[in-house]
Structure 1
Amino acid sequence: MSAPAIFRSVLISLVLLCTQLLPAYAQDAKLQLRVGSQQQTLALTDLLKHPALRTIRIPADVSYKRTMEYRALPLLAILRDISKVDTLQFKATDGFVANIPASLFLGESEAWLAIEVPQVPWPALKAGGPSAGPFYLVWLTPEKNHITQEQWPYQIASISDVTPLHSRYPQIKPHTPPDSAAYHGMQVYATQCASCHQVNGGGDAAVGPDLNRPANPTEYFNETYLRKYLRDPAAVRSWPGMTMPGFADSVMSESQMDDLLAYLRQMALQK
């Protein structure tokens, strides 16, 4: 066999090997939908054949911190009717849970489901780790409806309709009037913190520690350092594998942080 023929044979073998080594999800990933009467399991391969599939460009991707292009579907192209849905819950394979008001998907920010093409995998989120695939919720114009960084769930396994967090877990509600700072702080917690943390054992996710049991952050941080930690966790303490994000002013305003701290202080009294 000639040298060129040997080279071609080796090259073909390498291509076949790489195809076989693609992550399992790249070949047979499934997305579970449980929204109202819509109970479906959608295969990645079928979604990539959907007539509404487009290539979109996200200028400031929250997860990759740069401009990204995706093959994607408008989320409403796969959800039949969310007009009577209060909250859409996105569960990720790593335990992250995002509860997002359904009204945001009917607004102007344009939610899309990005789909990782097996033959063109996305970059790893961190060196040696997985990508944001196979399914990732992205927004074309997040600023129009004030979409937060916690409302960009990736590695999505399922989408379901649920009632608000505090109605399912009453133990997270502060014993204060609805117009109080602590009550407003519960809403900040639900939007910004509940994707990873529970309070009093109540919540859908458990990626991070409970924020009230056994100890509340207001009991072991003074307020100055707690505020600093929320803005830039690594400036206070860090460790290998740390995933706690910081909340910039543009994500959590000072007044929202005031409300969140009022909520945490109140919940320290409600263990």
Structure 2
Amino acid sequence: MRHCLSLLLLLVSLPLAAAQLTLELGNGQRQWQSEQLLEHPQARAIDIPQDVAYKRPMHYRAVPLATLLEGVKPGDHLQAVALDGFAAEMPAAPLLQEGPARAWLAVEDPRQPWPALAQDKPGAGPFYLVWTDPQASNIRPEQWPYQIASIRRLAPVAERFPALLPAPELPAQDPVRQGFALFQQNCLACHRLNGAGDAQFGPDLNLPHNPTEYFQPGYLRLYIRDPQSLRQWPQARMPGFSKDVLSEQELDALIAYLGHMAKRRP
């Protein structure tokens, strides 16, 4: 018993391991340890009145993300990859701006871990992209990736994954093209389509079948708005997309893109 108690005290006294963030920005690879970022000269305490992941006010120690994106230009394209396979595609321009909306890398202190996101789920650490004044630049929930393991600079989605592209003869203002842009912003972080994409989180949305083929139109809209209202299971991970996130017109365009791609399988 005494041996077990001594071992327990030893484990409690050991420092928690620091996490590592990997940056691949086209100028080599750099790793940042969480302790380094917590002590970064530009690290500061910030308050997020309505946190997307926790759905309540949160307080973080964070570094302006632009400070870490050395060599990145506004026209570049970045991808944040999470520990669970979530891969958020992000244009660099909003991440580099100082305002009105500003991107921050919140850093979890291993000595004071953040709370769990839900029962039986981990927290948002070790690194979480948060925004101050997000409404000022129409920042969407999918632009708040958490549990980040790496950030890398890549070619735009259309160049990397031509299998995602709608038919080239479509007019520039066709709703399907708007739907493609919305798919990149809201869906590609979790799903592939035609086998194309980097996400390892959710199923492919065109192989073997497209949701527009096995959902009646009204139920597909309901499922996108609130997945749990249509079918419930404890392991469900897909978030709902409210009208504040995806307007009715945008939802129409997204569904038009999905229906269009049902006819464009490899």
TM over 0.5: yes
**Structure 1 249/202 Cα, relative in aligned 2: closer, same or farther at 3 Å?**
same
Conservation of the 8 A alpha-carbon contact between 2:74 and 2:96: no
Residue number in structure 1 paired with 2:112: 120
Conservation of the 8 A alpha-carbon contact between 1:136 and 1:153: yes
Equivalent position to 1:216, from 210, 213, 217: 210
**Structure 1 144/234 Cα, relative in aligned 2: closer, same or farther at 3 Å?**
same
Runs of at least 5 residues in structure 2 that lack an aligned partner in the other structure: none
Report the CA distance between 1:177 and its aligned residue: 3.0
What is the SS of the residue equivalent to 2:105?
strand
What is the SS of the residue equivalent to 1:184?
helix
Equivalent position to 1:103, from 82, 93, 106: 93
Equivalent position to 1:242, from 199, 212, 236: 236
Conservation of the 8 A alpha-carbon contact between 1:38 and 1:80: no
Tell me whether 1:202 sits opposite 2:192 in the alignment.
no
Runs of at least 5 residues in structure 1 that lack an aligned partner in the other structure: 1-9
**Structure 1 269/88 Cα, relative in aligned 2: closer, same or farther at 3 Å?**
same
**Structure 1 92/210 Cα, relative in aligned 2: closer, same or farther at 3 Å?**
same
Report the CA distance between 1:85 and its aligned residue: 4.6
C-alpha distance after superposition, 1:110-133 (max 9, x if no partner): 100000011111001121221110
Partner amino acid, structure 2, of 1:59: P
Conservation of the 8 A alpha-carbon contact between 1:27 and 1:45: no
C-alpha distance after superposition, 1:25-74 (max 9, x if no partner): x5131111111325211111111111111111000000000000011111
Report the CA distance between 1:180 and its aligned residue: 1.1
Tell me whether 1:158 sits opposite 2:150 in the alignment.
yes
Cα distance in 2 for partners of 1:87, 1:51 equals 26
Aligned length: 257
Conservation of the 8 A alpha-carbon contact between 1:198 and 1:204: yes
Conservation of the 8 A alpha-carbon contact between 1:88 and 1:160: yes
Partner amino acid, structure 1, of 2:134: P
What is the SS of the residue equivalent to 1:27?
coil
Partner amino acid, structure 2, of 1:229: Y
Considering only aligned residues, what root-mean-square deviation do their CA atoms show, in Å?
A: 1.7
Conservation of the 8 A alpha-carbon contact between 1:85 and 1:161: no
Cα distance in 2 for partners of 1:84, 1:147 equals 16
Tell me whether 1:173 sits opposite 2:165 in the alignment.
yes
What is the SS of the residue equivalent to 2:17?
helix
Residue number in structure 2 paired with 1:137: 129
Conservation of the 8 A alpha-carbon contact between 2:77 and 2:91: yes
What is the SS of the residue equivalent to 2:79?
strand
Larger Rg: 1
